[in-house]
Structure 1
Amino acid sequence: MPLILLCGYPCSGKSTIVSLLADILKQHLPHYSILIVDEFKSGNLQSKITTNYDIRCDIYADSIKEREFRGQQKSEVERALTQSQSTIVIMDAPNYIKGYRYELYCMAKSHKHQQIVLFSDIPPEISEHWNSKINRYPDDLLSDMISRFERPQSTQRWDNPLITIEPHLWNSPSTDNMESVIIQIKQLLNNKGKGKIQPNKSTQLTIISSSNYLQNLEHITQQVVDHVLRSQTRGLSSVDLPMCFQNEHNRDVVLQITNSETKYTIGNLIRLKRRYIAVQRLKFDQLNTVSDNASIATNFLQFISFNGDLCDDEAS
């Protein structure tokens, strides 16, 4: 069962693409069911959106709310991926942060599912024009979201396979525009049928006892904290993983220092460490499974990168 991940600017035609794609998938692949995880319906947003007000403006204008919202979406996708193997899951959301796409990629692979990125590639001025027609986002917020967009790259494993669509070049929306897309998706599904997707070491779950797990988690996260502090002292512009946790799957995972407004003090890092351990302990209580050491270190470094600004909020 593949996860088809939409990606694109706000107001770039993603939902139109999803609607057309769902229709044509039902025609070409009738033995599959289609499940859409829709940003519009995630976290009960639909009940909070009216003709005069869209709560998504509040969410995307606040980094903390946006992070919480992405967490809700990720949970919905994970629940969908645990359903029938004959279901195609389509995630209709901007997915404009490459680190988030990487998280979704790892999650899909841990459940032995393939991820396909469907990129709605339009110029920024088209996004602005389409937004003006529906008046969804204020101009300053839209510009900010566009500036933060991290384009998918087929050279990155979490963005590959990458299928690019240019809906602004269509004469009108129709399933005819999706014919080349469905051909590529069918080819990918056929290739998948020749061999099962296997989780690699960075995503594979293993069984471990509670006491050993917590002790191991404490030890690994402290190693990462110490490594970040030492790297800052040396004046490095970015921090990679400690050498003992590096492998072919996580060598490109780094924590940026130079371009970050956050100063990673020991107090900040300890707070993030405690929060990360609390989240992982909750997952362990629910699933009784954990990732290997390299994956724990990788996920914690990414957790610091994505959540570092929370420490400043708490301290202020």
Structure 2
Amino acid sequence: MPLIIISGFPSSGKTTRAKQLQEFLATKGKQVKLISENAAIPKAGFKKNVYYADSQKEKIVRSDLKSEAIRLLNKDDVVILDAGNYIKGYRYELFCATKAARGTQCTLFCGIQKDKAWEFNCQRTEEEKETNLTSDDDSNLNNSNVPYTREIFDALCMRFEEPHGNCRWDKPLFVVFPEDNLDCEGIYSALFDSAPLPPNMSTQNAPISATNYLFEMDQLTQQIVADVMSSRKIGITGPVPVKGSNIKVDLPDNINAIQLNRLRRQFLNYSKMHSTSSTLDKVPQLFVQFLNSNCNV
């Protein structure tokens, strides 16, 4: 269920850190699912620099990466999303998905100076090969060692939205520079020693009541109203006991059926909206309290 979002400039060491985390978590007995943008781009049939030059192509792969991360979220596995993740709105969407799954999350920011990142990029010498989309074996697809062009590199750096520790969707934030040791223990503690993110109430499903619950509640309240009116018709005044219980309906003597049925409808509507209970044994007591409170104001 935990999700690790890796973010950083191009050639900042994101994939190296992702593999370090994968190896560390494996020593802790955790199953790790590594989702790599470096593999997703050639798998989608795009060349690296052509891909980053086209916003529509980027949207397609970003959407696939997010869908894959959400699909893999579960109670046992750790998901590492190794990608630029340079858009804060995109990181927020992932944060909301983690909340909905009641999981934990952290962000790893690979900090680096732009000039140093370009230096690392220039050390990459691999030429990009044509992707064979007809092949079923995509395990070797990876463009990690393919260099960015200067134009694409500068564009990615310019539109990068740096994670901040004061933003709830980036917390907890871990920052690591190329010369630093990765705080694997701190990341592990943040994922497994903290409470899951609380889900938004607006995204939670309402409790499901029994199929005949509302019908039987309607019947019970009708019977209580009928008992009260029957007592009034034969001249009985004062509190009216409810059959099968020790509660009594204490209403004014001049109450009429129209008033009682209006109150009954209000009670039913309130119960439907608030899902007060899914058991019928409390309905008579709640309804009688509602009547006594509203008729004696």
Shorter chain as denominator, the TM-score bin is 0.5 to 0.7
Q: Quick one: distance in 2 between partners of 1:76 and 1:186?
A: 22
Q: Quick one: distance in 2 between partners of 1:116 and 1:190?
A: 11
Partner of 2:65: 73
Q: Quick one: distance in 2 between partners of 1:97 and 1:47?
A: 21
Q: Quick one: distance in 2 between partners of 1:190 and 1:62?
A: 38
Secondary structure of the 2:81 match is strand
**Contact 1:40 1:46 (C-alpha < 8 Å) held by counterparts:** no
Q: Mapping of 1:138-157 within 5 angstroms? A: 138-157=149-168
Q: Quick one: distance in 1 between partners of 2:13 and 2:158?
A: 18
Q: Quick one: distance in 2 between partners of 1:205 and 1:58?
A: 41
Q: After TM superposition, what 4+ stretches of structure 1 lie above 6 angstroms from structure 2? A: none
Secondary structure of the 1:158 match is coil
Partner of 1:222: none
Q: Quick one: distance in 2 between partners of 1:5 and 1:86?
A: 17
Partner of 2:2: 2
Partner of 1:260: none
Partner of 1:184: 186
Q: 1:190 to 1:40 in 2, by over 3 A?
A: closer
Q: CA deviation at 1:11?
A: 0.9
Matched pairs, number: 186
Secondary structure of the 2:199 match is coil
Q: Quick one: distance in 2 between partners of 1:38 and 1:71?
A: 13
Q: Mapping of 1:106-255 within 5 angstroms? A: 106-134=96-124, 136-167=147-178, 169=179, 177-178=181-182, 181-192=183-194, 195-201=195-201, 204-206=203-205
**Contact 2:6 2:84 (C-alpha < 8 Å) held by counterparts:** yes
Q: Quick one: distance in 1 between partners of 2:93 and 2:189?
A: 25
Note the alpha carbon deviations across 1:131-150, whole angstroms, 9 max, x for none. Answer: 11115211011001000000
Q: Quick one: distance in 2 between partners of 1:139 and 1:197?
A: 40
Q: Quick one: distance in 2 between partners of 1:123 and 1:155?
A: 22
Partner of 1:20: 20
Q: CA deviation at 1:69?
A: 1.4
**Contact 2:34 2:82 (C-alpha < 8 Å) held by counterparts:** yes
- Paired letter, 1:35: K
Unaligned runs of 5+ in 2: 125-145, 208-297
Note the alpha carbon deviations across 1:208-243, whole angstroms, 9 max, x for none. Answer: 9xxxxxxxxxxxxxxxxxxxxxxxxxxxxxxxxxxx
TM-score normalised by L of structure 2: 0.59
**Contact 2:44 2:61 (C-alpha < 8 Å) held by counterparts:** no
More helix per residue: 1 or 2?
1
From the CA coordinates, give the structure whose radius of gyration is larger: 2
Secondary structure of the 1:7 match is strand
Partner of 2:92: 102
Unaligned runs of 5+ in 1: 49-53, 171-176, 209-316
Q: CA deviation at 1:189?
A: 3.2
Note the alpha carbon deviations across 1:169-218, whole angstroms, 9 max, x for none. Answer: 25xxxxxx23xx222123223433xx44320235x24369xxxxxxxxxx
Note the alpha carbon deviations across 1:45-77, whole angstroms, 9 max, x for none. Answer: 2485xxxxx712122111111112111111111
Q: Quick one: distance in 1 between partners of 2:155 and 2:196?
A: 40
**Contact 2:98 2:197 (C-alpha < 8 Å) held by counterparts:** no
- Paired letter, 2:8: G
TM-score normalised by L of structure 1: 0.55
Note the alpha carbon deviations across 1:68-87, whole angstroms, 9 max, x for none. Answer: 21111111111111x4x111
